[in-house]
Structure 1
Amino acid sequence: MRVHPASPFVRGWVALAAIGFFFGRDIFERMLQGRPVLEDGFAGRVPWLLAGGGAVLLIAVLGFILTWYFTKYQVSGGYVRVNTGFLFRQQRQARLDRVQAIDIVQPLLARVFGLAELKFEVADAGESAVRLAYLRMDDARQLRATILARAAGVVQVSGETQEAAPEAPEQPVLSVPPSRLIGSLLLSEQSFFIVLGGVASVVLSAVTDNRGFYFYLIPAALGLAATYWGSFNKGYNFTAAISPDGIRLRYGLLDTQAQTLPPGRIQALKVTQPPLWRFFGWYRIQVNVAGYGLVGGNGEGTSRTTLLPVGKLPDVMSMLALVLPDPGTPEPGKVFVAGLTGLDADGGFVTTPPRARLLAPLGWRRNGFTATDTALLIRSGRWWRHLVVVPHQRTQSMALHQGPLARRFRVADLVLHTTAGPVVPRLIQADMDQARALFDEQSARARLARKRQTSEQWLAQVAPGLAEQPQQGTAAAADTSLQEGQHG
């Protein structure tokens, strides 16, 4: 199958605009200035400009058509295959059972034409994602449902037949009001440092009688405004819902995006609370997902790894319940709240020994860890509070770090390695003996958890009996199996 015929023009509108500007700049300027176009010898150049612009435009349009004609995709045999290229052919193939997340992206121009880009991450992909741009919105949703159903194991593959699956129903979980989003930006870390810089500039200007210090704030203010706009544009109308095919996130003002994270694909999670957010009880949640760490630190990468841009404690607990449906402890509320706000041994956390409090005078009572049957929890920070949650089966490797000062106080840092992303699980300044014991215990937990995971298909993990039987891909069957898996 091919993508929509308008796809190359939606992708290449910038090139068309550049061609029009280059060959028509003089004509446009004369028209805007009210000057006749055919004067001062310019009339002799007009035919050449029109001929040259027409030729370049024709070549560009022909290239767009060939690009569309030679771009094909297929979902069959447990794989997604994408063929692209005219002169240099390329074929990409991705296993459905390795799908980590699926996004439906609608840039502003694509929304005008009712088109969308389907982008899905695969754990063994060599690039950030496999992209299909652009499809009709209904086709993109249908294809997403089919890929997720096959990745989950609901729809069984039979030869080369492509069986479509209906879109799974969803249940809303939370939404972020625009007022809260704006308030979180105004009280963010960037605002704090801008205000601090402004106060320093005023003091220095008053002391030295030099007004030049104010000019240093101009680039900072411009950068802050750009950051505010990017965060507001990406976080506007943020909603989260749960469905049988995973966690669904929707957000965006001009460019809208709909993410779907299948259960169990999140490698690590971090809950953060900046100091100024504490007055309102706000938190932010970020995650590591295989493939997402390759997109870099741009705005797109930040938004795709944000599970909750700003929310209150009940919102945090709701999202934690989606990511970790089995918390592995009979008192999950007590343990997670202690991880977010507790000190010392609250919630069973083991903290930095008192002898090492000189290394972290403010944070030593916060820095600590605890382990449940399903995840390791690491908390840190007295002013900037952090809670990191790593499911046991997602621990890929570990390392003990100890510098000269740490050796003097007999403490060490334990680093857990997961996929690349904004979350870096690191236990800070644990007692040396406890760090070594945790190293051995966590290795055993991770090994045992991976043995229990016998299939890459998430439905086979929560409901093996259903995954083994041939299915017609009904959303009701997947919904029932997911609920039984979460409550079993």
Structure 2
Amino acid sequence: MTVKAAGDAGAAGVSPGNADGEWLRVHPASPFVRGWIAIAAIGYFFGRDIFERLIQGGPLIDDRMAGRAPWLLAAGGVILMLAIFGFIMTWYFTRYQVAEGYVRVKTGFLFRQQRQARLDRVQAIDIVQPLLARIFGLAELRFEVADAGESAVRLAFLRMDDARQLRATILARAAGVQADPESPDAAVQEAPEQAVLSVPPSRLVGSLLLSEQSVFVLLGAVGSVLLSVLTGNGGFFLYLIPAALGLAAAYWSSFNKGYNFTAAISPDGIRLRYGLLDTQAQTLPPGRIQALRVFQPPIWRIFGWYRMQVNVAGYGAVGGNGEGGSRTTLLPVGTLADVMTMLSLVLPDPGTPDAARVFTMGINGSNNDGGFVTTPARARLLAPLAWRRNGYVATETALLLRSGRWWRQLVVVPHQRTQSMALHQGPIARRFGVADLVLHTTSGPVVPRLIQADADEARALFQEQAARARAARKRQTSEQWLAQVAAETPAAEPPAPNEFPAPNEPLASRGPLAPREPLAPSQDGPQNG
């Protein structure tokens, strides 16, 4: 193996003719883009007093510090030079390689570390651009693998074009696409894409204003006004200040991460782009989503809005913070038609000929609409409002779990993603003859749980779902998702316009991809009632 120097072609990314197994370096500006906070802290520590004296019209250097000023400046210069030297060494010892079905990253000059990830275990790939990186045209590449609790590999930073090309290379190899034998060293171009939906900023703002935290703050404001009027003490308004600041911060974070949200479909998978200051581009390969949830708060029902979240292996460890929340959001706010469009991308084979009605009833229906099996009437005292909503239905490819009367949700779990199950039955549930069935997938915001099903039906579903999961995993003959898609395509049928290329098809043959026809919402049953 050869090590490519910074001045060589492709030192800051993937060159069109780089050989498999070649070690490359990230962009030379990477450590400065990441470590600008340290430089700013050094400048603040040594320049704070000088800045304050300039504001007050005093001398540049205090008379008491004049004798020690040269030593302080020298110390500051030494610290700054050490920081810059550390940045340079960090860059010099950071290298990455794509070879032998793995991507490897070496970091550290005092404490060496090498991380690697199998390409056929790639779950999702993100291109992240913080504000400073966008100014310099750089991007960070992150991708998750099935057996990693955190980002398996993070490359920061590459030129934007190089990051896209490296992502295309990794996705192509993870998908099982082979290079053209006539030109094996040809650069892998980014697969074409077709936009399927976008979220208007006005709808995003409206969803934030109609969120639960807005209602709580409004109720708190009304309560403070009443208490102030009744007691004659205006101090109650002070309690609204931290709440208002927290609400403003939450609004800004959600708006910044959800702004300009767009979804597109490509041979690489589902591509999501979003962000105002810090932009992010995700690529979710087909079949890698472990579980999906469609959620509707009560106020959103007025406008028919929904949110979609997913569990993806590797994202669970960061699912609790703001970054993880945005990365596990498949649709921040959308209409029922948008939900059906995304469902058709995540689950291209719904496993039932009446998919539109089944999914629509799963989102908005009640009782046995769409074939759902609900909580028995004898247990309605446990959930007086939701017992007609709580239920399940199984298709050939997925299990659908419905729950909630005011906070409605539909959880979809592909059969092959069911890792384990558990039956829960407390003393009160045992008295009414009901039980909960919990499905275990990868960690994330979606918790698949069948609530208050008939105990006998829950036990039967436990056995049936275990059999369905085993059968679905047997049909999954390869970790390479593109090979699975090609294997499931009948040879006698002509390829559809939106069909993925076969694993042995040259990369150069990739053409435009049309999105599959989305599911149309069923007009039967309640929609927003």
SS of the equivalent of 1:214 reads helix
Shift of 1:275: 0.6
Contact 1:75 1:162 in 2 (8 A): no
* Aligned residue type for 1:129: A
TM-score (norm 2): 0.88
1:205-216 equivalent positions in 2, closer than 5 A: 205-216=228-239
Partner of 1:359: 382
Q: The residue matched to 1:422 in structure 2 has which SS?
A: coil
Matched residue pairs, number?
482
Mapped partners of 1:198, 1:363: distance in 2: 31
User: Please, which moves more after superposition, 88-97 or 149-158?
Assistant: 149-158
1:44 and 2:67 are equivalent in the alignment: yes
- Mark the CA change 1:39 to 1:124 in structure 2 (over 3 Å): closer, same or farther: closer
From 131, 137, 160, the equivalent of 1:114 is 137
How far apart, CA to CA, are the structure 2 residues paired with 1:29 and 1:222?
Answer: 28
Letter paired with 1:29: E
AA aligned opposite 1:473: L
Compared CA separation, residues 202 and 37, structure 1 to 2 (3 A): closer
Work out the CA distance in 2 between the residues paired with 1:304 and 1:333: 27
CA distance in 2 between counterparts of 1:208 and 1:41 reads: 55
Give the match for residue 287 of structure 1: 310
Letter in 2 for 1:123: A
Residue of 302, 306, 312 corresponding to 2:335: 312
Q: Deviations over 1:126-157 (max 9, x none)?
A: 53331000000000000000000000001369
Asked if 1:85 is matched to 2:108, the reply is yes
Contact 1:176 1:310 in 2 (8 A): yes
The one-letter code matched in structure 2 to 1:380 is S
Contact 2:175 2:503 in 1 (8 A): no
Classify the secondary structure of the residue corresponding to 1:429. strand
- Which amino acid counterpart does residue 335 of structure 1 have in structure 2? V
Cα contact 2:482–2:502 (8 A) shared by 1: no
Mapped to 2, the partners of 1:379 and 1:61 lie a distance apart of 56
Check 1:336–1:44 CA distance in 2 against 1; reply closer, same or farther (3 A cut): same
- 2:176 is the alignment partner of 1:142: no
The residue type paired with residue 132 of structure 1 is L
The runs of 5 or more residues in structure 2 that have no matched partner are: 1-23, 492-499, 517-529
Residue 271 (structure 1) aligned with residue 294 (structure 2): yes
Aligned-partner Cα distance in 1 for 2:75–2:461: 71
Q: Report how far residue 258 of structure 1 moved.
A: 0.3
Unaligned runs of 5+ in 1: 484-488
Q: Which amino acid aligns with 1:90?
A: Q
Residues 367-421 of structure 1: per-residue CA shift (max 9 Å, x gap): 0000110000001111010000000000000000001110000000000000000
**Cα distance in 1 between the residues matched to 2:343 and 2:442:** 19
SS of the equivalent of 2:49 reads helix
Among candidates 204, 219, 225, match of residue 248 of structure 2: 225
**Which residue identity does 1:472 align to in structure 2?**
P
Tell me if 1:72 matches 2:95.
Answer: yes
The equivalent residue for 1:421 is 444
TM (normalized to structure 1)?
A: 0.95
Counterpart AA for 2:99: S
**Structure 1 residue 204 displacement after superposition:** 3.5
**2:305 counterpart letter in structure 1:** W
Pair 1:163–1:120, CA change in 2 (3 A)? farther
The Cα shift of 1:174 comes to 0.3
Number of the residue aligned with 1:397: 420
Corresponding position: 1:26 with 2:49: yes
**Superposition CA RMSD, Å:** 2.1
Work out the CA distance in 2 between the residues paired with 1:96 and 1:241: 23
Residue 76 of structure 1 contacts residue 162 of structure 1 at CA under 8 Å; is this kept in 2? no
Could you report, residue by residue, the CA deviation over 1:293-315 in whole angstroms, capped at 9, with x for unpaired residues?
Answer: 11141110000000000000110
Q: What code does the residue aligned with 1:111 have?
A: R
The one-letter code matched in structure 2 to 1:283 is Y
1:48 to partner: Cα distance: 1.4
SS in 1 for 2:307: strand
Contact 1:239 1:251 in 2 (8 A): yes
Instruction: Write the letter of the residue equivalent to 1:329.
Output: T
* Matched-pair contact (CA < 8 Å) for 2:94–2:106: yes
Q: 1:408 is paired with a residue of what secondary structure?
A: helix
1:101 corresponds to: 124
1:473 to 507, 512, 515: 507
Whether the 8 Å CA contact 2:116–2:152 is kept in 1: the answer is: no
Task: Give the Cα–Cα distance (whole angstroms) in 2 for the partners of residues 257 and 378 of structure 1.
Answer: 31
Distance of aligned partners of 1:434 and 1:156 in 2 relative to their CA distance in 1, 3 Å threshold: farther
- AA aligned to 1:406 is A
More helix per residue:
1
Partner of 1:381: 404
Distance 1:60 1:169, change over 3 A: same
Q: 2:416 touches 2:470 (CA, 8 Å); kept in 1? A: yes
One-letter identity of the residue aligned with 1:182: V
- Are 2:501 and 2:510, in contact at CA under 8 Å, matched by a contact in 1? no
Measure the CA separation in 2 of the matches of 1:411 and 1:212.
Answer: 50
What is the 5 A alignment of 1:136-175?
136-155=159-178, 164-175=187-198
* CA contact 2:177–2:502 (8 Å) conserved in 1: no
In 2, the alpha carbon distance for the partners of 1:470 and 1:377 equals 35
1:251 is matched with 274
Which residue, 308, 312, 324 being the options, matches 2:347? 324
